Amino acid sequence: MTYADLQEALQVLSLRERASLKEIKERHRKLVKRYHPDTGNINDQEAIRKVNAAYKELLDYIAEYSFSFTEEEFYEQNPDERLRRQFMDVPMWGKR
């Protein structure tokens, strides 16, 4: 897989450069419902192939992806927790 392949898969699924697995699955499900052959539109057969290929490409990428469990990454992914930690000692906002 090349970076261009990855970008194309994101474009086919209309995803941003940063998406969760949940977002990827939801977008795939929505597009499959739209382009499924049972909808009766024969022109959508190529579209469903592209959607499924893009989905497989992203899942393959995710399967090989190394996740970061650093503290910095944790707080980047959980901004509410970062704010709670930052202000938990402030009397007005924190527990004290």
Task: Indicate which CATH number applies to the domain containing 38.
Answer: 1.10.287.110
* Cβ atoms within 10 Å, residue 28: 20
Same structural domain, 10 and 48: yes
Same structural domain, 44 and 84: no
- In terms of residue numbers, what domain contains 59? 3-65
Instruction: Please give the pLDDT value at position 4.
Output: 94
Same structural domain, 45 and 15: yes
Same structural domain, 49 and 76: no
- Per-residue pLDDT of 56-93, as tens digits, reads 999 999 999 888 889 999 998 889 998 888 888 777 76
Asked if residue 38 has pLDDT above 70, the reply is: yes
Same structural domain, 14 and 58: yes
Instruction: Please give the pLDDT value at position 37.
Output: 79
Same structural domain, 9 and 56: yes
Question: For residues 58 and 24, is the Cβ–Cβ distance under 8 A?
Answer: yes
- Per-residue pLDDT of 6-21, as tens digits, reads 999 999 999 998 899 9
The pTM assigned to this predicted structure is: 0.75
